[in-house]
Homo-oligomer: A and B are copies of this chain.
Amino acid sequence: MTEALPVGSQAMMQRDRASASLGMIVHRNEPGHAVVSMVVRDDMLNGFDVTHGGFIFALADTAFAIACNDSHHVTLAAGADITFLKPTTSGQNLTATALLRVKSGRSGIYDVRVTVDDDVTVAEFRGHSRTTNLPVPARNHL
Contact = CB atoms under 8 A, between A and B. Distances in A.
Contacts of A53: 57-58, 61, 77, 80
Contacts of A12: 46-48
Interface string A17-37: 111111000000000000000
Contacts of A124: 101-102, 109
Interface in A117-139: 121, 124, 126, 128, 137
Interface string A33-75: 0000000001111111100111101110110010000000010
B16 A52 contact: yes
Contact of A58 (B47, B52, B74): B52
